[in-house]
Amino acid sequence: MSNLDLFLIISILVSALAFCFAAWLYRWVKAQPSSNERVEEIGSYIRKGAKTFLRKEYLVLAKFCGAAAILIFIFLPAPIWKGGSILQNLTIVIAYLCGTIFSAFAGKIGIAVATMANIKTAESARSGGIRPSFLSAFRGGAVMGMAVVGSSLLGVTLVMAITHDSTALLGFSFGASSLALFAKAGGGIFTKTADISADLVGKVELGIPEDDPRNPAVIADNVGDNVGDVAGMGADLFDSNVASMASALVMAIALGNKMGVDYSAMVFCYAALGLLSSIFGVMAARMGKKDDPTMALNMSTYLTTGIFAVLTAGATYIFRFDWRIWGATAIGLLVGVIIGITSDYFTNDDKKPVRNVAKASESGPAFTILSGISYGFLSVLPSMVGIGISAMISYNLCASISPEDPIAGMFGISMAAVGMLSIVGMIISNDAYGPIADNARGLVEMGDLGDEALKITDSLDSAGNTVKAVTKGFAIAAAGLTIISLLGAFMSEVNEAAGSVVLNGFDIINPLVFFGMMVGAAIPAVFSAMLMLGVDRNAQRMVAEIHRQFREIKGLKEGKPGVVPEYDKCIDIATDGALKELIPAGFFSIIVTIAVGFIGGVNAIGGYLAGNIVSGLLLALFMSNSGGLWDNAKKYIEAGGNGGKGSDAHKSAVIGDTVGDPFKDTAGPSINTQITVVSLVASLMASLFLSFSLF
């Protein structure tokens, strides 16, 4: 049995173990006590709203994916009327559809457990204290983590085992990415529509608490946490994990064919050990004596990192893998942790940037915005430098494997991306913990479970916000390395289609490359603007609806007994608006990519991808960190700093947070998915761009 066959089997077994562990975690969370009828009632509203949105969104996306599948069958990897193999085109179509199905499954699982875990977390805060409440939220998030990474590893393994075709792997990855792009965009528009509307009318205009049941948008806000931060982020990280493995395998196959070495086995070995490490890390997650949830989440991440480093070093020694490739993987993992720490510095309310923005808020909202934007831009440098250094070191480490072939160095970068995403199971667990804790806090307030339970869930929610900023920085950085490696996959696909080496790199002095780079650099900005304008239009409609209800429903503003707002109206506005706005931005990115390819050919696409990567990473990091900073500055003031709730500083900070919301939860995290999608479109259409172009 070859090493590749062995690790294909091991990958399937580890994926099965992850699913079994997820099932155990689900049963554990479900077994936690919950008996409060009011909390159960509100929780059912949230569950129903989230499931309704997801069903409608998936119906819309099914139509898009069906149309895309037909076009893929006709054109990719070569037009069927030009002698293309019908069987190969059909294989890519099936792989594409499987990618969309696996991604949708991950989001569905996340919604199911998150809308149950929020109730258990709220009830545990009242009856058991902070430790069982923390475990309910974290283990609920871990179900999502195990399901997402188990699905991605299993999907890539099955495609590889059945087809042994690198293009089919890219098709599977494109399916995951295209669904993730629209799921993240749609979920982000929904959640920020409700969040901004609830904050502006509730906190700023009326001065009522964040989760006051009188606010008609409050249920939509909680639904949004699930469809945006659970289903959307799960699809996003599913896409990143699949894309990193697919790009690494494309180059592993190309390099292995030249060197006579099976490098694919290393990719599956390290990916399987990463998931196994995440299982151990989730099992070990506990709160220490200080009852600090942030420390518990961070320590479990560091433990997972250490376990992965040891396991992969041992496997490299036992199976006599190349230590240079292990070094590239370790560099990616290390830089991922460093970028996470950087994001923590700029978004944690214990650090100077957040407190300085809170202080600036005393002087008015203009200073909140100016200071937040400034720190957001400052936060970009360490992460961009970190991504650049990891790419440079990993490239040079592996370039010596085959000095005359640039694919060897690019394979090193792809393995750094695999390393950075190796602990993605733990990262998703931490990320999904955040919206569960946030929902639990709302349920405690709306269910009137007491001040002690509110204090506990406030602490859990604050930790979720801090860790969420770290995980977003981590996800964006990992996507950055993945996308750089996809540039290598594009070169590999072009050279394979040409039957010779026609691309060794891209010279920016070449006018075609420069043209592509200018267009590519503009796309993330336009894409972000389209998403945020969607939030803006939708939020204005919802604010008008909230005003109408407070004006027309007698006794609602005063909170008279038996007077209940029309929550469904706000949920419908958020749902319909998100579904209307989610297609144009993603479709625009794909159409422009195809247009640049047919205008300038493969050289223009190379420049286009390079410009898209650099501009996209900068904007994504800036928006994620500045948004997280504004959010935690608001929460720091609400906890009593700089005048506390109801002060002028608080009102300024709420305005800053409403600007930051679409930054960090709509546009920012969607950009990395957009870059991945256009990179995969370029790789899949490489032979077409090589054969047909205007210049």
Domain boundaries, the chain: 3-691
Long-range contacts of residues 543-547, Cβ cutoff 8 Å, at least 24 apart: 543/197, 543/200, 543/201, 545/216, 545/569, 545/570, 545/573, 546/197, 546/198, 546/201, 546/215, 546/216, 546/217, 546/570, 547/201
Tell me what the pLDDT averaged over the chain comes to: 88
**Is-cis flag, bond preceding 77, omega within 30?**
yes
Among residues 326, 332, 325, which one has the least CA distance to residue 312?
A: 326
Write out pLDDT tens, residues 564-609: 899 999 999 999 888 888 788 888 999 999 999 999 999 999 999 9
Q: What angle do CA 238, 147, 240 make, to 5 degrees?
A: 10
CA distance 279 to 208: 42
CA distance 287 to 337: 21
What does the block give as tokens for 212? 């006051």
What does the block give as tokens for 349? 């309310």
Contact of 546 with 552, CB cutoff 8 Å:
no
Among residues 476, 413, 493, which one has the least CA distance to residue 682?
A: 493
pLDDT band per the 50, 70, 90 thresholds, residue 680: confident
Among residues 187, 111, 181, 188, which one has the least CA distance to residue 144?
A: 111
CA dist list (Å): 139 to 24, 51, 116, 499: 10, 21, 11, 50
Element (H, E) at 50: helix 37-75
pLDDT band per the 50, 70, 90 thresholds, residue 326: very high
Beta strands in 23-138 (DSSP E): none
SS3 210: coil
* pLDDT reported for residue 356: 96
Q: Which amino acid is at 276?
A: L
Judge whether residue 386 has pLDDT over 80: yes
CA 679 distance to own-chain centroid: 17
CA 33 distance to own-chain centroid: 31
What does the block give as tokens for 557? 């503003």
Long-range contacts of residues 397-405, Cβ cutoff 8 Å, at least 24 apart: 397/324, 397/325, 397/327, 397/328, 397/331, 398/324, 398/325, 398/328, 400/324, 401/255, 401/259, 401/322, 401/324, 401/325, 402/255, 402/258, 402/259, 405/255, 405/258
Q: What is the mean pLDDT of residues 188-205?
A: 86
Tell me the backbone φ, ψ of residue 116, rounded to 5 degrees: -95, -40
Write out pLDDT tens, residues 10-27: 999 999 999 999 999 999
Contact of 675 with 483, CB cutoff 8 Å:
yes
Top pLDDT among 413 and 494 is at 413
Write out pLDDT tens, residues 35-51: 788 888 888 888 998 88
* CA neighbours closer than 13 Å in the CB half-sphere of residue 130: 20
pLDDT band per the 50, 70, 90 thresholds, residue 83: low
Helices (H) and strands (E) in the chain, counts: 20, 0
Judge whether residue 499 has pLDDT over 80: no
Element (H, E) at 410: helix 406-420
CA dist list (Å): 418 to 238, 273, 483, 592, 638: 13, 11, 12, 29, 40
Q: What is the end-to-end Cα distance of the chain in Å, rounded?
A: 49
Start-end of H helices in 290-364: 293-318, 323-347, 352-360
CA distance 398 to 328: 7
SS3 71: helix
Q: Which amino acid is at 117?
A: A
Write out pLDDT tens, residues 221-256: 888 888 887 888 788 788 888 988 988 998 898 888
Write out pLDDT tens, residues 106-161: 888 888 889 999 999 999 998 888 999 999 999 999 998 999 899 999 999 999 99
For the ranges 264-278, 318-332, 496-510, the lowest mean pLDDT is seen at 496-510
Judge whether residue 100 has pLDDT over 90: yes
Start-end of H helices in 199-232: 218-226
pLDDT band per the 50, 70, 90 thresholds, residue 84: low
CA distance 111 to 129: 25
CA distance 57 to 516: 33
Top pLDDT among 83 and 442 is at 442
What does the block give as tokens for 93? 């179509």
CA dist list (Å): 366 to 163, 204, 358, 370, 371: 57, 16, 12, 6, 9
Q: What is the mean pLDDT of residues 283-304?
A: 85
Top pLDDT among 500 and 675 is at 675
Among residues 542, 379, 559, which one has the least CA distance to residue 473?
A: 379
CA 359 distance to own-chain centroid: 31
